[in-house]
């Protein structure tokens, strides 16, 4: 299962049933779990932590030092969970002193040429399209779909269960359950098809839709709109998520 043409540092920890192809490079201070498949020319550098059942395609680079001039060589990690598909030439950098780690959760698909910068956090069940670039310290919540060639400004957050259209660039937060796109970026409605595929009921979808009608179509400022949502929409975990996400936003939300 391990090619003699691969380089594995003697201090690296490799789990059971791991397939390591020719010309793979695995550095020191690396931990790789069970049942992973690492294809030719993948590079796993110092500080990488990889869970179980992942597939790394040719040219993927995990754990390279941050592209951040503030980085001074401090100890940090790049952590990947379980059952992820990391396609060709994906780069996932280590963290910096800011958070100390970059995290990719479980069951994600990162397509060809995606870049995940230092201290970013990607949740579970996300799909990230070809050539999408994430700047430092971004957060993507669970079950997000990010289309191809999306540019994400540092410190932005993307809410769960939404979709960002291809070629979008943004520097503000994108709330959960919505579609965002156009140029400049704007709210394009809720992600009805995606919500139905994820098992949301018609009642849940209608409540989400009603909340966003108030937030985006009532001409109220954000503070007053959220108060009206609390007063008029029955509280549920979906509505609570929307309200808390927007109130906690430091960059403001896309309009």
Please write down the HEC assignment for all residues of the chain. CECCCCEECCCCEECCCCEECCCCEECCCCEECCCCEECCCCEECCCEEECCCCEECCCCEEEECCCCCCCCCCCCEEEECCCCEECCCCEEECCCCCCCEEEECCCCEECCCCEECCCCEECCCCEECCCCEECCCCEECCCCEECCCCEECCCCEECCCCEECCCCEECCEECCCEEEECCCCEEEEECHHHHHHCCCCHHHHHHHHHHHHHHHHCCCCHHHHHHHHHHHCCCCHHHHHHHHHHHHCCCCECC
Query: pTM of the full predicted structure?
Result: 0.96
Say if 165 falls within a structural domain.
Answer: no
Cβ 168 vs Cβ 153: under 8 Å: no
Say if 101 falls within a structural domain.
Answer: yes
Q: Nearest to residue 52, comparing CAs of 95, 93, 114, 107?
A: 107
Q: Which tokens go with 81?
A: 């969970």
Which of 82, 119, 141, 173 is an active site residue? 119
The pLDDT, as a whole number, for residue 147 is 98
Last residue in a domain, options 137, 154, 169 = 137
Q: Based on the fold, state whether residues 86 and 11 are members of the same structural domain.
A: yes
Q: Based on the fold, state whether residues 106 and 16 are members of the same structural domain.
A: yes
CATH for 114: 2.160.10.10
Q: For residue range 21-43, what is the model confidence (pLDDT) as tens digits? A: 999 999 999 999 999 999 999 99
CATH for 226: 1.20.1180.10
Reported confidence tier of residue 9, pLDDT bands at 50, 70, 90 = very high
The pLDDT, as a whole number, for residue 138 is 98
Q: What is the mean pLDDT of residues 40-47?
A: 98
Q: Based on the fold, state whether residues 24 and 130 are members of the same structural domain.
A: yes
Q: What is the mean pLDDT of residues 152-170?
A: 98
Q: What is the mean pLDDT of residues 76-89?
A: 98
Which of 51, 63, 123, 136 is an active site residue? 136
Say if 58 falls within a structural domain.
Answer: yes
> For this structure, is 136 an active site residue?
yes
The pLDDT, as a whole number, for residue 200 is 98
Q: Based on the fold, state whether residues 121 and 51 are members of the same structural domain.
A: yes
Q: Which tokens go with 149?
A: 């060639």
Q: What percent of the chain has pLDDT over 70?
A: 100
Q: What percent of the chain has pLDDT over 90?
A: 100
Q: For residue range 193-215, what is the model confidence (pLDDT) as tens digits? A: 999 999 999 999 999 999 999 99
Cα gap 54→32, rounded to integer Å: 10
The pLDDT, as a whole number, for residue 216 is 97
Cα gap 37→199, rounded to integer Å: 31
Say if 171 falls within a structural domain.
Answer: no
Cβ 178 vs Cβ 184: under 8 Å: no
> For this structure, is 118 an active site residue?
yes
Say if 229 falls within a structural domain.
Answer: yes
Last residue in a domain, options 117, 137, 157 = 137
Q: Based on the fold, state whether residues 129 and 215 are members of the same structural domain.
A: no
Kind of pairing, strands 25-26 and 43-44? parallel
Q: Based on the fold, state whether residues 209 and 124 are members of the same structural domain.
A: no
Q: Based on the fold, state whether residues 131 and 203 are members of the same structural domain.
A: no
Say if 90 falls within a structural domain.
Answer: yes
What angle is formed at CA 101 by the lines to CA 47 and CA 39, rounded to 5 degrees?
50
Q: Could you tell me the residue range of the domain that residue 236 belongs to?
A: 195-248
Tokens 């030439």 belong to which residue? 89
Q: Based on the fold, state whether residues 202 and 93 are members of the same structural domain.
A: no
Say if 106 falls within a structural domain.
Answer: yes
Q: How many domains does the chain have?
A: 2
Reported confidence tier of residue 99, pLDDT bands at 50, 70, 90 = very high
Say if 132 falls within a structural domain.
Answer: yes
The pLDDT, as a whole number, for residue 195 is 98
Reported confidence tier of residue 110, pLDDT bands at 50, 70, 90 = very high
Cβ 208 vs Cβ 191: under 8 Å: no
Which of 53, 68, 95, 118 is an active site residue? 118
Q: What is the mean pLDDT of residues 13-18?
A: 98
Reported confidence tier of residue 80, pLDDT bands at 50, 70, 90 = very high
Last residue in a domain, options 94, 110, 137 = 137
């Amino acid at each position: 299962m391990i090619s003699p043409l691969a380089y594995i540092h003697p201090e690296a920890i490799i789990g059971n049933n791991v397939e390591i192809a020719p010309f793979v490079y695995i550095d020191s201070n690396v931990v790789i779990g069970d049942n992973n498949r690492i294809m030719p020319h993948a590079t796993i550098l110092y500080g990488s932590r990889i869970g179980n059942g992942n597939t790394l395609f040719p040219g993927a680079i995990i754990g390279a030092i941050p592209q951040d001039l503030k980085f001074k060589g401090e100890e940090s990690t790049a952590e990947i969970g379980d059952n992820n598909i990391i396609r060709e030439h994906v780069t996932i950098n280590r963290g910096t002193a800011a958070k100390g780690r970059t995290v990719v959760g479980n069951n994600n698909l990162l397509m060809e040429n995606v870049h995940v910068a230092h201290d970013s956090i990607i949740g579970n069940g996300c799909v990230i399209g070809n050539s999408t670039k994430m700047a430092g310290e971004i957060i993507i919540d669970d079950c997000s779909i990010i289309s191809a060639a999306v540019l994400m400004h540092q410190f932005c957050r993307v809410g769960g269960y939404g979709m960002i259209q291809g070629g979008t660039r943004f520097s503000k937060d994108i709330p959960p359950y919505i579609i965002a796109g156009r140029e400049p970026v704007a709210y394009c409605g809720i992600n009805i098809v995606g919500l139905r595929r994820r098992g949301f009921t018609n009642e849940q979808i209608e409540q989400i839709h009603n909340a966003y009608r108030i937030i985006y179509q009532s001409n109220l400022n954000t503070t007053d709109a959220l108060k009206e949502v609390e007063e008029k929409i029955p509280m549920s975990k979906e509505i609570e998520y929307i309200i808390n996400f927007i109130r906690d936003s430091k960059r403001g939300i896309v309009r």
